[in-house]
Structure 1
Amino acid sequence: MSENRETSRAAPRILCGMDMTFDACRQAFLTRDPRFDGRIFGGVKTTGIYCRPICPARPPKAENMTFFPTAAAAQEAGFRPCLRCRPESSPDLGAWRGTSNTVSRALALIEAGAMDAGDVDTLASRLGVGERQLRRLFKQHLGASPVAVAQTRRVLLAKQLIHETHLPMGEVALAAGFGSVRRFNETFQQLFGRSPGHLRRSQAAEQSSAAGGITVRLPYRPPYDWDAIEGFLAARAIPGVEVVTPRRYARTLQVDGVCGVVTVTPGEGDFLVAEIRFPKVQALPAVIARIRRVFDLAADPGLIGEHLSQDPALAPLIAARPGLRAPGAWDGFELAVRAILGQQITVVAARNLAAKLVTAYGAPIDDPVAAKLGLTRVFPTPERLVGQDIAALGMPRARGAALEALARTVAADRAIFTPRADLESAIAALSALPGVGEWTAQYIALRELREPDAFPHGDIALQRALADGEGRRPTAPELLARSQAWRPWRAYAAQHLWAADAVQPQTQAIKAKRTKTDARRAA
């Protein structure tokens, strides 16, 4: 560990990252500039601690500082997290730097637990690259190895649970992904020089808990358009599985065969508050990863908006909704079923069909808190739909058969809805699924695989949103050609165009009403 730290001392300017000099990083810390929170971390050589730019502690001398692009890089260099600014509370932007799609996909897999039961070679194979190449890309873009990134995530999650919950230390260890309580204690003793229990006792009481569950804060980079994402989820909420009320989203969820309930609300700051009720604490990292994915908490709206605003047509849309996110999906199979149900029908009709599907095949959930919220079932698993006459629920027989075939395919291979080597190979694999065409494949890639460049260019609403003054819409090839300038953030361009298209009928209705009123007044 000391050897790594000597390396970091020798080259502080290089470790600052790809796009900032040492002096720029230093200035960000001196001014406690929140714009750089989550972008850079500063290590203090005299104390062995690394901090966020917004740390309230007095900045050290320049010669005692070194900078890192990620918390994992700082920790791998031998620095330990600050107890005052709490690096685990910073927005996680590592996957959204736009520098390496392979690294972004790898980070998504690590967050979902790919390194808990596997190694770097397995991770690299899933991404279609060699192990040495993956290690090189991680060092280049994140300043740390894949193993260090996974370990840092584990430590920071454990530290967050220690600070924010009343979970016993044994459950914290399991929830954070440590193989044993002994390993958990050894890691904290080595990193912080004290036991996890002492770390909790040394902090001011800021812990909270849900009835029978836990409550955690999930930070994001502002601005955040909660109303937009709440409206998106509300329009598609399946009765019994999801309940959306003003400033609260709740749903049932199944992870590795275990059912639970999550409730998400906006916090009094730059974070969301998640209440999680699951009987197995080992499911916690996967649940948190899904919440972060659905609510798109890793996005950097400033970076994305700056790039997309270069298009004159998108600039006013982004100015109107600077915090708009691209909502993710809770489960790949569920999203694929929803997408197939919604082919050639309205969102409301698709939601009603999904409700029938859940009533017929969804397993009931026995939880008094869930019942109080109006949550009664979980979405059906692929195995539950195999061999069923789904068309009997009221849809074309071909569509019902496609859903049954999809269920059979996914039941045989659960890894279908995971990131691939690149977007093109992901679209090819998804398009091979029963009932999935180009549009549906792009939609799944956008919401489930979290591909920021996925773009369903054949979507009528996208074409309609870019109609010219005479009402002429671009064709699918024309829209695809125009979208090249939006890369690598085409998924967010699509979200802004969908949002704009959704308000057009309302705007037209208001204009029509005003025209009639003016006509009456003129008469």
Structure 2
Amino acid sequence: MSENRETFAAGVPIFPTMDMDFEACRRAFLTRDPRFDGRIFGAVRTTGIYCRPICPARTPKAQNMTFYPTAAACQEAGYRPCLRCRPEASPDLGAWRGTSNTVSRALALIEGGALDNGDVDGLAGRLGVGERQLRRLFKQHLGASPVAVAQTRRVLLAKQLIQETRLPMGEVALASGFGSVRRFNETFQQLFGRPPGALRRSRQEEASAAAGGITVKLPYKPPYDWAAIIGFLAARAIPGVETVTPKRYARTLAIDGDVGVVTVSPGAGHFLVAEIRFPRVQALPAAIARIRRVFDLTADPGLIGAHLSQDPALAPLVAARPGLRAPGAWDGFELAVRAILGQQITVTAARGLAAKLTEAYGQRIDEPFAASLGLTRAFPAPERMVGQDIAALGMPKARGAALEALARTVAADPAIFTPRADLDSAIAALKALPGVGEWTAQYIALRELREPDAFPQADIGLLRAMEDEAGRRPTPAELLTRAAAWRPWRAYAAQHLWAADADQLTLAKRTKTDAPHSKQDRQAA
């Protein structure tokens, strides 16, 4: 497979894309190479089925095969998903395959439901491009139109729910985003040649992990550093909103006015297990999208790590943590509030302030399952903080005023934390928010907008991690220049540097604790 490259305006190469070289794709299928799972799909003209490279079925004859870069491209060409290898269970690497920044941002918006109640023209407008340009980019890089991508996600989610849960078919239709049960039935009859219920009857039913909850498996590309991401979340968990153990993360979550509970645990294979409980099943796609964002399930660690390892300073860090991810955020407003609270104080202190804020303004949750997990409140909605004297909770008046102004701004424009045309315009829009400077804007872009090239170059942890042997730290400008070679994965470089800095601080603390404290102790040592 050969590589194309789209570049930034400055000429810096970004996401490498794969041409569909027939022989290379054919070899991947013959060897059932898992490295290509989620990157290519093989369609068989004689059967009308498309498969993953790891499909256990006998590889078809070469003259009967065609290869596509996405499941959406296969379905737009008229093929239906294989019932053995289940393309809906493959790692979704669409946003990381190497396309373009515009396509990556569009995919994030589509996953968040941008085309459920909107059209392609509106999606293009949010990205700062024309509708024809967006369609051309999708065809060029994904082999399918934006609408086809959205429809494929809907169908594959429905198929997963049919085969992994006991939800009634009507609820599956609603949960996967179909406007009506009739449309749901027609789509499955057309695509699979059978009604949706036949897919469930063709195999043993799998009950949900707990009554009232929907349990789904969310695949990822290995390796995956679960310990690192659960440690990150545990250090920032707000009491009453989140509970974290080494093997489970749980929290309350608000979607479109409804408050539910999600729990996430590592699975027995290359997937996480999510249990989702909401009053309405229509919240399911949005909940899954947020889980995938927070746990960074669309990243390709091999691709990212290979690029960052070209820098001798980063190579040992990547080797030490090959599955490190960049944790996302559950909600843009929540993240912005946390970031402002954390300015110039420790993570622990910021967590304490967030707990006070939630206790004062968060919606109380009275639900037995939530209570059994220690979850009692939802993070405050912006409307509940408007007009409040937030500084009275124990923070500088300027910071409390900034939080109230931020809440007022977000309440007036809930879509303010959505991807923009490019990283620079996103940073500019975020810096216009009350209390948000360069560092906070870059941090929000990294975690909420999922900009893989966001980079808070003035962060003390990053500067400390890049100290030379003489103990000299680079200036923010020097670090930014050095980081140019890490593009378009500077956010992941930052994650590795933060992890290394945390290790050094822990080591220094242990050394200080273990060191002799008196003259007699030093002599004895």
- Tell me if both proteins adopt one fold, taking TM over 0.5 as the criterion: yes
The answer for the alignment partner of 2:283 in structure 1 is: 283
The answer for the alignment partner of 2:422 in structure 1 is: 422
C-alpha distance in 2 between matches for 1:500 and 1:207 = 42
- Paired residues in the alignment total 506
C-alpha distance in 1 between matches for 2:275 and 2:241 = 16
Query: SS in structure 2 opposite 1:440?
Result: helix
Name the aligned partner's letter for residue 363 of structure 1.
Q
The answer for the alignment partner of 2:461 in structure 1 is: 461
C-alpha distance in 2 between matches for 1:503 and 1:490 = 20
Task: Name the Cα RMSD after superposition.
Answer: 1.4
The answer for the alignment partner of 1:169 in structure 2 is: 169
The answer for the alignment partner of 1:11 in structure 2 is: none
Deviation of the 1:507 alpha carbon: 1.9
Name the aligned partner's letter for residue 32 of structure 1.
R
The answer for the alignment partner of 2:307 in structure 1 is: 307
C-alpha distance in 2 between matches for 1:257 and 1:84 = 38
The answer for the alignment partner of 1:345 in structure 2 is: 345
The answer for the alignment partner of 1:393 in structure 2 is: 393
Alignment of 1:63-462 (within 5 A): 63-462=63-462
Deviation of the 1:209 alpha carbon: 3.5
C-alpha distance in 1 between matches for 2:214 and 2:206 = 13
Superposed CA offset, 1:99-158 (max 9, x none):
300000000000000000011101000000000000000000000000000000000000
C-alpha distance in 2 between matches for 1:173 and 1:268 = 28
Superposed CA offset, 1:246-297 (max 9, x none):
2100000000000000000000000000000001000100000000000000
Q: Is the 2:226–2:266 contact (alpha carbons within 8 Å) kept by the matching residues of 1? A: yes
Deviation of the 1:460 alpha carbon: 0.7
Q: Is the 1:98–1:488 contact (alpha carbons within 8 Å) kept by the matching residues of 2? A: no
C-alpha distance in 2 between matches for 1:106 and 1:58 = 36
Query: SS in structure 2 opposite 1:259?
Result: strand
Deviation of the 1:20 alpha carbon: 4.5
C-alpha distance in 2 between matches for 1:313 and 1:466 = 8
Name the aligned partner's letter for residue 431 of structure 2.
S
Q: Is the 2:225–2:324 contact (alpha carbons within 8 Å) kept by the matching residues of 1? A: yes
Deviation of the 1:97 alpha carbon: 1.7
C-alpha distance in 2 between matches for 1:277 and 1:513 = 45
Deviation of the 1:203 alpha carbon: 1.9
The answer for the alignment partner of 1:498 in structure 2 is: 498
Query: SS in structure 2 opposite 1:261?
Result: strand
Query: SS in structure 2 opposite 1:391?
Result: helix
Deviation of the 1:208 alpha carbon: 2.7
Deviation of the 1:342 alpha carbon: 0.4
Name the aligned partner's letter for residue 35 of structure 1.
R
Where structure 2 has 5 or more consecutive residues not aligned to the other structure, the ranges are 1-16
C-alpha distance in 1 between matches for 2:81 and 2:269 = 22
C-alpha distance in 1 between matches for 2:31 and 2:250 = 39
Deviation of the 1:515 alpha carbon: 7.0
Name the aligned partner's letter for residue 281 of structure 1.
V
Q: Is the 1:210–1:276 contact (alpha carbons within 8 Å) kept by the matching residues of 2? A: no
Q: Is the 2:20–2:67 contact (alpha carbons within 8 Å) kept by the matching residues of 1? A: no
C-alpha distance in 2 between matches for 1:374 and 1:515 = 40
C-alpha distance in 2 between matches for 1:19 and 1:350 = 47
Deviation of the 1:21 alpha carbon: 1.3
C-alpha distance in 2 between matches for 1:444 and 1:307 = 24
Name the aligned partner's letter for residue 349 of structure 2.
A
Query: SS in structure 2 opposite 1:313?
Result: coil
Q: Is the 2:154–2:176 contact (alpha carbons within 8 Å) kept by the matching residues of 1? A: yes
C-alpha distance in 2 between matches for 1:174 and 1:298 = 24
300-309 or 94-103: bigger deviation: 94-103
C-alpha distance in 1 between matches for 2:169 and 2:375 = 31
Query: SS in structure 1 opposite 2:166?
Result: coil
Deviation of the 1:18 alpha carbon: 3.0
C-alpha distance in 1 between matches for 2:509 and 2:448 = 34
Superposed CA offset, 1:429-472 (max 9, x none):
00000000000000000000000000000101100000001110
Q: Is the 2:18–2:98 contact (alpha carbons within 8 Å) kept by the matching residues of 1? A: no
Query: SS in structure 2 opposite 1:500?
Result: helix
Name the aligned partner's letter for residue 371 of structure 1.
A
C-alpha distance in 1 between matches for 2:209 and 2:266 = 16
Q: Is the 1:294–1:329 contact (alpha carbons within 8 Å) kept by the matching residues of 2? A: yes
The answer for the alignment partner of 1:43 in structure 2 is: 43
Q: Is the 1:39–1:69 contact (alpha carbons within 8 Å) kept by the matching residues of 2? A: yes
Query: SS in structure 1 opposite 2:18?
Result: coil
Deviation of the 1:211 alpha carbon: 2.5
Deviation of the 1:212 alpha carbon: 1.1
Deviation of the 1:98 alpha carbon: 2.9
Name the aligned partner's letter for residue 407 of structure 1.
A
Name the aligned partner's letter for residue 508 of structure 2.
Q
1:57 aligns with 2:57: yes
Query: SS in structure 1 opposite 2:50?
Result: strand
Query: SS in structure 1 opposite 2:60?
Result: coil
Superposed CA offset, 1:52-75 (max 9, x none):
000000000000000000000011
C-alpha change, 1:207 and 1:27, in structure 2 (3 Å) is farther
Name the aligned partner's letter for residue 186 of structure 2.
E
Superposed CA offset, 1:6-34 (max 9, x none):
xxxxxxxxxxx733410110111111111
TM-score (norm 1): 0.95
Q: Is the 2:431–2:438 contact (alpha carbons within 8 Å) kept by the matching residues of 1? A: yes
C-alpha distance in 2 between matches for 1:365 and 1:516 = 50
C-alpha distance in 2 between matches for 1:40 and 1:252 = 36
Deviation of the 1:508 alpha carbon: 2.4
Superposed CA offset, 1:317-341 (max 9, x none):
0000000000000000000000000
C-alpha change, 1:436 and 1:513, in structure 2 (3 Å) is closer
Query: SS in structure 1 opposite 2:416?
Result: helix
Query: SS in structure 2 opposite 1:371?
Result: helix
C-alpha distance in 2 between matches for 1:184 and 1:360 = 44
Query: SS in structure 2 opposite 1:285?
Result: helix
C-alpha distance in 2 between matches for 1:495 and 1:105 = 21
Where structure 1 has 5 or more consecutive residues not aligned to the other structure, the ranges are 1-16
Deviation of the 1:378 alpha carbon: 0.1
The alignment-based identity, stated in percent, is 82
1:479 aligns with 2:504: no
The answer for the alignment partner of 2:4 in structure 1 is: none
The answer for the alignment partner of 1:5 in structure 2 is: none
Query: SS in structure 2 opposite 1:253?
Result: strand
Name the aligned partner's letter for residue 449 of structure 2.
L
C-alpha distance in 1 between matches for 2:66 and 2:89 = 21
Q: Is the 2:20–2:68 contact (alpha carbons within 8 Å) kept by the matching residues of 1? A: no
TM-score (norm 2): 0.95
